[in-house]
Structure 1
Amino acid sequence: MDFATADLVDTHEAVITSCWVQMRNYGGQVRFAGPIRTVRCHRDNALLKSILSKPGDGAVLVVDGGGSLASALVGDIIAGLAVKNGWAGIIVNGVIRDSAAIGELPLGVKALGTNPLKSAKTGSGEADQTVSFGDCAFTPGHWVYSDEDGVVVLPEKA
């Protein structure tokens, strides 16, 4: 990917938002971008697994797990589904597991941290609704850009 979030901020200062939540890069693709898709779930990853099992067409799934560190929302199997189905990346306001395996995948994955504990699988949550964290609204159809410096959102592709 040929972009830098700092340059995007300089160029699109009037319309860009920057997420101040500090996340780590875990995927094999550090820089990634795409149209936003969203899921909001708390300690339950069945809905996001269902979404990532369908074609992503280069989108980025933004997962609002409420910042919970209690159980992982993404592991190597779910991340593998994202790769198989053409997703550009996953941004998790929560934790992941299987970080070493995820680091080998050609996928952008950003999360707060890791926890080996599995999450529930009831399917609770909401999809394709605007989710907000770190003073940033992630609206489906807007564009998200992620690199070593952070995560920014623009209303359309830069």
Structure 2
Amino acid sequence: MPTKVHRPTTFPLPRELVEQWAQVPASIAADVLEGLTLVDPAIRPLRPLPPGGRLVGSIVTALCEGTDYGAVHHAIAVAGPGDVILIEAGGRPNPAVIGELLSGAARRKGIAGVVVNGAVRDTGRLARWQDFVVFTRHITPRGPSSMDRGTVNDVIAFAGTRVAPHDLVIGDDDGLVVIPRAAAEARLGAALARVAAEEAWERELASGRTTLDVFQVPPAG
């Protein structure tokens, strides 16, 4: 069956909204959404991100079957600048479904990065790119065997989390959180308020106050 590319029924989130979410660490996003949209923490960034750095973007989904990576090619073709491609490859340790050539093509389009529930290769090169972020579960030298199956831009279960096209993903050194498109605007205020609160707590602790005082911890018995 040839690769199926779906046309999403929703529109991408406004760029201004995405940029505001870019101020929010994954830890705060996870707390605001009560941990319900966490991606399996075994999927890690290929290299540590710079201080304050994170991967944030509108999601394009790619579902790969077996050793096929056709969906990755088609996802790169339909993704736009700032998007993030989430590749569901069943958590398989091989084959790699993306490496230097496909990642380079995505990078040249301005795609922000890829997240792979599976394996990648050519990591020596990928890890040196500062403008293209890769999260993955596995690394392997073995490549795929075919490129004529799979699904793009469908609603999928990605590493245990429901993901739809145009949902938002936030990733940093702590891990990955999906922000459902329908919740992105509604939960932004709470997320930004928590960012401001944590900055205030840090200032109070730096001034010499104890965590007992700052967080109003109940007295010990």
| Both proteins in one fold, TM over 0.5 | yes
Contact 1:53-1:85 within 8 A present in 2 as well: no
- The 5 A counterparts of 1:3-152 are 3-13=24-34, 17-26=37-46, 31-42=54-65, 43-105=67-129, 106-152=131-177
SS of residue matched to 2:90: coil
More helix by share: 2
Contact 1:28-1:107 within 8 A present in 2 as well: no
Q: CA deviation at 1:45?
A: 1.7
More displaced stretch, 16-25 vs 93-102? 16-25
Q: CA deviation at 1:27?
A: 5.8
Q: Aligned AA for 1:36?
A: I
Q: Which runs of 5+ in 1 are unaligned?
A: none
Larger radius of gyration: 2
Q: Aligned AA for 1:56?
A: G
Higher RCO, Cα 8 Å, sep 6+: 1
C-alpha spacing 1:12/1:55, structure 2 compared with 1 (3 Å): closer
Q: CA deviation at 1:28?
A: 7.9
Residues 101-139 of structure 1 deviation map (CA, whole Å, 9 limit, x = unaligned) = 001122111111111011023321011111213331111
CA RMSD of aligned residues (A): 2.1
What is the number of equivalent residue pairs in this alignment?
Answer: 157
Contact 1:27-1:102 within 8 A present in 2 as well: no
Residues 34-91 of structure 1 deviation map (CA, whole Å, 9 limit, x = unaligned) = 1111011122223312321455221111111011112100101111111101111111
C-alpha spacing 1:79/1:18, structure 2 compared with 1 (3 Å): same
Q: CA deviation at 1:3?
A: 2.6
